[in-house]
Amino acid sequence: MLKCPKLYLTTALVAGLTALPLLADPLGLGRAALPEEIAAWDVAVMPDGRGLPPGHGNVYDGEDLWIDHCAACHGDFAEGAGAWPPIVGGRGSLTAARPLKTVESYWPYLSTVWDYVNRSMPFGAAQTLEDDEVYAIVAYILYSAGLVDDDFELSHENFSEIRLPNESGFYIDDRAVVEFPIFKQDPCMSDCGDAVSIVARAQELNVTPEFPVIRYSFSGVSLVEAPVAEDAPAPQIIEEVQLAGLDPALVAAGETAWRQCRTCHQIGEGARNGTGPALNNIVDASVGQVDGLRYSPAFAEASAGGMIWDAATLDAFLENPAGLIPRNRMSFRGIRSAEERAALIAYLTSHMD
């Protein structure tokens, strides 16, 4: 009987190596790690706060650090940006078809948040943050999740007092007792269910919904209208709104300028709040009064002071958001062109009831 040469050689090597008494002893390579070297790697933080270094950081400092180090990937409000995940939100979504796993909805302990930020963030520059900076960023995350107020300061002393919403959502894995017996039953191999047949098609049932459209026009010139595919039926125009006093060309230019706003804001039919508020009927409205949006303290203060989004205020804000309302969360740097700002304000005005 022929033997495989490779198998024969491997067997011989194993037999020879096991016969060497030197391999049973330490190899004599390297040295024992020093206590300070072990301490440098020992950065784990336990749920009860063990392992936390002394330090503190507040929400306001955390907001500035977040904009500098985190917002590019996770959004100004921790809502996520592009393909990068949100950090807050999603409460109650874990049983949905597409659950959103965040600090607010999924993570059980604040220690996981602190440890992950300290160990792995910012992306590409891990472990470059000072301890106080990590405390401040975690404080801002808690504030963005609505778990603390804007004057909150997180420290190693009050750390264990913070409870995340999903702490009680974890339990001991009981699948071996509850689920495994179900899958150990004999499978059905024939006549397991009723035969499947197609009884109707969507085209035959005429269930494709129609999307009503409100058309805005000035002197017969259409300004805003939903796009329609070439092979689609004509949209159902439910209302014709004639706008007076607006230059159609200026509104059209404003619609082009709006492209830099639509990442955070929606406007028009069906608009809803996103990262920023929906902007229907915003002209001449009170600042910080759109329903369903949690505004930053800076906007809340401007609202309490009676600020109104008239044309002059809108122009000043669009030119320099941080200059008009300091410490607001809007990361947009502003529009230098006066003509572009005027066009954008005309576009906002075209979306008034």
> Does 6 score more than 60 pLDDT?
no
Q: Are 263 and 279 in contact (CB under 8 A)?
A: no
Please tell me if the domain spanning 43-169 has the same topology as the one spanning 213-227+236-349: yes
Compute the mean pLDDT over every residue in the chain, rounded to the nearest whole number: 81
Section 164-173 average pLDDT: 89
Check whether 114 has a pLDDT greater than 50.
yes
> Quick one: pLDDT at residue 234?
58
Integer Cα distance of 102 and 78 in angstroms? 10
pLDDT of 259 over the 80 cut? yes
Q: How far apart are CA 126 and CA 74, in angstroms?
A: 16
State the average pLDDT over residues 201-205: 67
Categorize the per-residue pLDDT at 185 as very low, low, confident or very high, splitting at 50, 70 and 90.
Answer: confident
> Cβ distance 105 to 89 under 8 Å?
yes
Q: Does domain 213-227+236-349 have CATH number 1.10.760.10?
A: yes
Instruction: Return the pLDDT at 208.
Output: 60
Residue recorded with tokens 């401007």? 302
- Where is pLDDT greater, at 43 or 135? 135
| Number of C-beta neighbours around residue 110 at 10 A | 24
pLDDT of residue 233: 55
Domain definitions of the chain by residue range? 43-169, 213-227+236-349
**Mean pLDDT of the 294-306 span:** 87
Residue 15: pLDDT above 60?
no
The Cα 110–Cα 2 span in angstroms is 64
Fold classification of 43-169 is: Cytochrome Bc1 Complex; Chain D, domain 2 (1.10.760)
- Is residue 169 predicted with pLDDT exceeding 50? yes
Residue 229: predicted pLDDT: 45
3-state secondary structure 158-197: CHHHCCCCCHHHCCCCCHHHHCHHHHCCCCCCCCCCCCCC
Among 30-34, 230-234, 299-303, whose mean pLDDT is lowest? Answer: 230-234
Give 53-93 pLDDT, tens digit per residue: 999 999 999 999 999 999 888 988 888 887 889 999 999 89
Poorest-pLDDT segment among 13-17, 73-77, 176-180, 310-314: 13-17
pLDDT at 225 > cutoff 50: no
Least confident of 52-66, 159-173, 189-203: 189-203
pLDDT band at residue 143 under the 50/70/90 scheme: very high
- In 3D space, the residue among 214, 212, 211, 218 whose CA is nearest the CA of residue 347 turns out to be 218
Mean pLDDT of 294-313: 88
Backbone angles phi, psi at 213, to 5 degrees: -130, 135
